[in-house]
Amino acid sequence: MSRVCDMCGKGPMTGNRIVRHGLAKYKGGIGLHTTGITQRRFLPNLRNIRIKDGPNSRQIKICASCLKSADIVKA
């Protein structure tokens, strides 16, 4: 199952989940220390919608930002 927007091509992006422990210096501690970094994925906010494609209708996956801004005709 593809997680890509059919209009703009927006897809999954990668990033890091950073875990920090300790008391901040301004609160009287010795500062925050990074204790773990793991990879994570940011997934696009996709919606399945049915649109008119000439005399027929078809279903596409579109992200929420394209759904707000695009001029599409729902079936």
pLDDT in tens, 3-21: 999 999 999 999 999 999 9
Domains in the chain: boundaries: 13-69
pLDDT at 72: 82
CA distance from start to end of the chain: 23
Question: Tokens 């929420």 label which residue?
Answer: 64
Q: In whole angstroms, give the CA distance from residue 26 to residue 29.
A: 7
Q: Which residues of the chain have pLDDT under 50?
A: none
- This prediction has a pTM of 0.73
Q: What is the pLDDT of residue 1?
A: 62
pLDDT score recorded for residue 75:
82
